[in-house]
Amino acid sequence: MSSNPQTDPALEALVGQKYRHGFVTDIESDTVPPGLDEDVIRLISRKKSEPEFMLEWRLKSFRHWLTMREPHWAHLRVAPIDYQGISYYSAPKSKANAPKSIEEVDPKLLETYDKLGIPLHERARLAGVAVDAVFDSVSVATTFKERLAKAGVIFCSFSEAVRNHPELIERYLGSVVAYTDNFFATLNSAVFSDGSFVYVPKGVRCPMELSTYFRINAANTGQFERTLIVADEGSYVSYLEGCTAPMRDENQLHAAVVELVALDNAQIKYSTVQNWYPGDEQGRGGIYNFVTKRGECRGANSKISWTQVETGSAITWKYPSCILTGENSVGEFYSVAVTNNYQQADTGTKMIHIGRNTRSTIVSKGISAGHAQNSYRGLVKILPSATNARNFTQCDSLLMGDQCGAHTFPYMEVRTPTASVEHEATTSKIGDDQLFYCLSRGISEEDAVNMIVNGFCKAVFKELPMEFAVEAQNLLAVSLEGAVG
């Protein structure tokens, strides 16, 4: 029974809680004044002591961004964003330079992550997980570096990677998400401040879970992190990210870019538990989560698997995608997106089949409550070269309450007769029959709903690493607080 995450008593305990990561850490910050021009970009690059090629890349991106127009989406209501009103760099001013070890990290920061349930001391709870902690614009600590180094795995902040492994950065940065890709990715390319970098060498199975914990703290800042994961031939890595932010009345912009590269026979498993501040019951405040995530299965027999549990943010706009270039490569997308109150989510994936015998699976579960709008948007594209390609998509929506919306927008473009593409979707409310069945077994309505919703999401939760599956279920219960009945 203990293997069944549904039995965790924490689930019950958490029902009825509000957003619990909404506190602010009182720490002195080095924050660049709001505004964006080439000087700000030069300043960010200088602060990070970047090599020339990085600065050039940033400026190229910025100049391109100036020619782009902010996108407008049919199904999202976005308050105007003042790009000159955002501070593009904010770092806790603890020590003159980045700390060399955990012992040097400001105790206030350690305490913050403790409070978030992410202890950075290596002997603490997450003993099997290496953590890179990103606080506002910079990485403040990375754990288990030495143990990983022994295996040959590079896991460090992006800034550090730029300094210590410039050849890897130059080779892979922007190789999956070009600096011209889209408005927010291009902005990120110009101003990104930090993030995580992972390189797993040939034939290495990363000995532990890697994770990055993102925290927005300062007001009026945007967070623009960049993550790059390269899995060399025959390697394996499982990576997960968590995100939280304080409760503030204004919207804050989070525009991240994640690039994954899997070479021959490599596997990357990327999991996200996104719990940015969603705004209050009236829809005030909350994070605008406009994220570009894309992986390329560059090598034969490679595999990239995205799993996401999206419960936070005022608006979520992201489509973790796979470009299946290598023969026999596999792309997967498992998603639970929960929206309550006035949250909006427009999320899904793109599976681009290029290589022969490529396969993809999409499982999306959307839950909408309150006044929220929840859309699945997905593209399955089978190019003529992708003979025998296979896709299966299952896309279900659950509606809780009569003021919310749930939408499904799949696009299937098939140009190979030997391909097979299958899509199924359903939208319904929680079945009265199911509810009554549970009630007649003595279970309270709230528990019954939780049980049914968790069951609805099970196909996705089972893809999460154990430590996060429980966390994800807890989040679900918290997010749907007040949605029942």
What does the binding site for other proteins look like in residue numbers (CB under 8 A)? 1-2, 4, 6-7, 74, 384, 397, 399-429, 431-434, 436-445, 447-448, 451-452, 454-459
Between 168 and 459, whose beta carbon lies closer to other proteins? Answer: 459
Distances (CA, A) of 171 to 25, 54, 300, 306, 460: 37, 12, 20, 23, 33
What phi and psi values does residue 193 have, to the nearest 5 degrees? -105, -40
Kindly state the smallest distance separating residue 446's Cβ from other proteins, in Å: 10
Q: Tokens 């990070």: give the residue.
A: 48
What phi and psi values does residue 434 have, to the nearest 5 degrees? -65, -45
Residues 242, 131, 142, CA angle at the centre, nearest 5°?
A: 130
Tokens of 284: 């005030």
Task: Please spell the DSSP secondary structure of 284-327, one letter per residue.
Answer: -SEEEEEEEEEEEE-STT-EEEEEEEE---SEEEE--EEEE-ST
| Whole-number Å distance between alpha carbons of 203 and 33 | 46
| Whole-number Å distance between alpha carbons of 223 and 136 | 6
Between 414 and 470, whose beta carbon lies closer to other proteins? Answer: 414
**Cβ atoms within 10 Å, residue 38:** 14
Residues 365, 22, 80, CA angle at the centre, nearest 5°?
A: 70
**Cβ atoms within 10 Å, residue 404:** 22
Kindly state the smallest distance separating residue 247's Cβ from other proteins, in Å: 28
Between 109 and 336, whose beta carbon lies closer to other proteins? Answer: 336
Kindly state the smallest distance separating residue 382's Cβ from other proteins, in Å: 8
Between 209 and 396, whose beta carbon lies closer to other proteins? Answer: 396
Between 154 and 460, whose beta carbon lies closer to other proteins? Answer: 460
Between 79 and 439, whose beta carbon lies closer to other proteins? Answer: 439
* Burial of residue 422, with CB atoms counted within 10 A of its CB: 0-12 exposed, 13-18 middle, 19 or more buried: exposed
CA dihedral sign, ordered 88, 94, 95, 98 = negative
Kindly state the smallest distance separating residue 445's Cβ from other proteins, in Å: 7
Kindly state the smallest distance separating residue 470's Cβ from other proteins, in Å: 14
Kindly state the smallest distance separating residue 3's Cβ from other proteins, in Å: 10
End-to-end CA distance of the chain: 30
Kindly state the smallest distance separating residue 319's Cβ from other proteins, in Å: 16
Between 153 and 395, whose beta carbon lies closer to other proteins? Answer: 395
Kindly state the smallest distance separating residue 440's Cβ from other proteins, in Å: 5
Between 167 and 433, whose beta carbon lies closer to other proteins? Answer: 433
Kindly state the smallest distance separating residue 380's Cβ from other proteins, in Å: 9
Between 140 and 386, whose beta carbon lies closer to other proteins? Answer: 386
CA dihedral sign, ordered 475, 478, 483, 485 = positive
